Chain A
């Protein structure tokens, strides 16, 4: 499998306290990897460090064929990393449509094409496209944030507990959509608590414990 993300000996944390300790991780092109671990073990920390929201202490992060460990967040995003953060974080005052459009690095026909893909994936957003994002339900916001990530035409989406706090029925819709995204060949690194609810759609499940990843 062609490597997409190669992380080696990554150490990162907060104020001298290492949360990740010489962590190693590989994600291949189009692969869907789940990271499970209990609350506070460092899943969000890992995702933030991969995107550059948290400076690493040491270690290498290769993405595609580039060393991205010293690049600022926006450059990593432009190379094809997208984020579905913990707690959703829509742009509350922008409409649903604007939340999607703003993420696109493309104009014209190509942006419309991406919009079609997102609205196909989440039909419920179509009827709410003119609403301000804060007016959406939690599940709809989560769909919007996943859609927003797709609008950047990413190679890898980092999803931080995407079903957290959602009703089971909504959660199932979100998981189904993640499966569809994985099937079109977008790489996915998704964190979850304790055990993976994503089932067969993940290629591998890794457990985060004591700052390391290990196969489950």
Chain B
């Protein structure tokens, strides 16, 4: 039973990390640049959700506001929308003016945005740990010895819907095909009439919406502070390195592996040992498959 419980918790955490990593990959693929602010955007998403909780609680009639569950339900879509809007602004401010510069310039620009985010949020909210409300209330199920919090299931459910939705968008729609084509050869995509700049803006909006969802979901069980971004960034980076640079599938798989170590392996050993083992596995994977588990080794034929 304990194992099953760990599995659910591990899957929920992995799913939330998956959202973090997917957002990172979306911008990476669209711009070819590492968005070093991504962890800070996840953190900011948590604080956006906290601010929205206050706003929604004060707008909603008391009978809804009191219950918590309603606030949580409204919180997810509003956080997604606000973060998507911030994504468009982020694109406009930190990427568009530099789009003809080498990726390293954009990388530096995102570092600056990350610093502004963590310092700005620190100034606004203070440095104390905060948490978001649970999505569907704070209860838990018990099935025999198995105890699963509503929040774990909410995380899992929300992440499955968002990840599935993104997969559908990328694989089954013309917008998704165009995003993939533009990522592979933007100049050729433009020559076919594809509005690449618009797709890049869409990628930023999607990336930050996913970051917002992750921030909202994670900041319930694990408190966040304005300096939480660094650790989240590292997880996204690791997940993508394990899974394969640029691969959406790989990002989710890598995130799951990290969560498996943080919860499963840590429960058998200890947190530091689990972390050490995770890095050993990372090295082993990179040694055996430098392109990552799902990395596509796109070959060339004459």
Interface residues, chain A, with chain B CB atoms under 8 Å away: 51, 53, 72-75, 77-78, 82-83, 85, 89, 91-94, 98-99, 101-105, 107, 132, 134-138, 141, 148-149, 152
Contact B177–A93 (Cβ < 8 Å): no
Contact A135–B177 (Cβ < 8 Å): no
Q: How many residues of B contact A (CB 8 A)?
A: 22
- A77, A103, A148: the one contacting B190 at CB < 8 Å is A77
Interface residues, chain B, with chain A CB atoms under 8 Å away: 174, 177-178, 180-181, 184-185, 187-188, 190-196, 296, 298-302
Alpha-carbon distance A136/B296, docked complex (angstroms): 16
Contact A91–B193 (Cβ < 8 Å): no
Return A111 CB to nearest CB of chain B, in Å.
9
Given contacts A74-B190, A77-B192, A134-B300, contact A102 B174 (CB under 8 A): yes
Contact B301–A94 (Cβ < 8 Å): no
Alpha-carbon distance A106/B301, docked complex (angstroms): 31
Return A133 CB to nearest CB of chain B, in Å.
9
Return B292 CB to nearest CB of chain A, in Å.
14
In the A-B complex, the 7 residue pairs with the closest CB atoms: A77-B193, A78-B193, A83-B191, A102-B177, A73-B190, A91-B181, A102-B181
Closest residue of chain B to A92, judged by CB? B298
Contact A152–B192 (Cβ < 8 Å): yes
15 inter-chain pairs at a CB distance below 8 angstroms, sorted by A residue, are A73-B187, A74-B191, A74-B194, A77-B192, A78-B193, A85-B188, A91-B180, A91-B181, A91-B184, A91-B188, A93-B184, A102-B177, A102-B192, A107-B174, A136-B301
Alpha-carbon distance A123/B12, docked complex (angstroms): 48
Which residues of B sit under 8 angstroms from A99, Cβ to Cβ?
181
Contact A85–B300 (Cβ < 8 Å): no
